[in-house]
Amino acid sequence: MLSKPKVAIVARVGLCLALAWFSWLMLRITLGYYPLRDDAGFLQIKQQYLAIDHWRMAFWIHVFTSMFALLAGFTQFFPAILRKAPHVHRWMGKLYVLNVCFVTGPASLVMAFYANGGWTSRLAFILLALGWILTTTAAWRYACQRKWMAHQEWMMRSYALTLSALTLRAWKVTLVLFFEPRPMDLYRIVAWLGFIPNLLIAEWLIRRWRAARKPPEPGTPSSNVAKGTDHSL
């Protein structure tokens, strides 16, 4: 039977492999839009918006820059990178923040106002875009203040929203496989499922992390050991 550290290592490796696989699928989708065509992939159901210049520009920006956020954010949670190559962590973090806050994040916000499925899905994507920008801004602000714990917590929230690009498609495949909902109903559902479970999982992980590093209460055996005052041995 595997020990807890080994289970954690296996879980981390499995998570990384799954993320790498889904990222590869996302890259294939992205490459499907090159060279630029107005009838590729998602654009087949957005023909009515192609004449809107700001929507079309936002779409192409988002398509070709969102992968950078996914990959740059992926590098931020490897302890080995932080220990052995902190400059890589810093520069990839800066790339992530600049991309989310000033490039692909604003582009996704523009697109959110034109989402399929009516006001429910539009509201979901608007909240997702705003949340993505705001959580990333908070992570960067705490990094500048050298409040590293808060920085890491907000970065976890930000990257949870980044991963909505993957989880939305995973939910879509799952729901079609088991329930076969109508296309617009499916779109309304996955618009919310794409990011809300991600945030809930991130908050659960953050709370576990806080509990793990919380100092023991004064007077408990563990606190006495830490102080060197436990003479029971």
pLDDT (tens digit per residue) in 209-229: 888 877 655 555 444 434 444
To the nearest 10 degrees (0 to 180), the angle between helices 148-162 and 53-74 is 130
Instruction: Name which residue leads in pLDDT, 10 or 124.
Output: 124
Looking at residue 122, its pLDDT comes to 95
The model's pTM: 0.82
Across residues 42-62, what is the average pLDDT?
86
How confident is the model over 162-181, as pLDDT tens digits?
999 889 988 998 999 998 88
How confident is the model over 71-127, as pLDDT tens digits?
888 777 777 777 888 888 889 999 999 999 999 999 999 999 999 888 999 999 999
Distance (Å, rounded) from C-alpha 42 to C-alpha 38?
Answer: 9
Looking at residue 6, its pLDDT comes to 65
Residue 107 vs residues 60, 117, 137, 167, 224: alpha-carbon distances, Å: 9, 19, 16, 20, 54
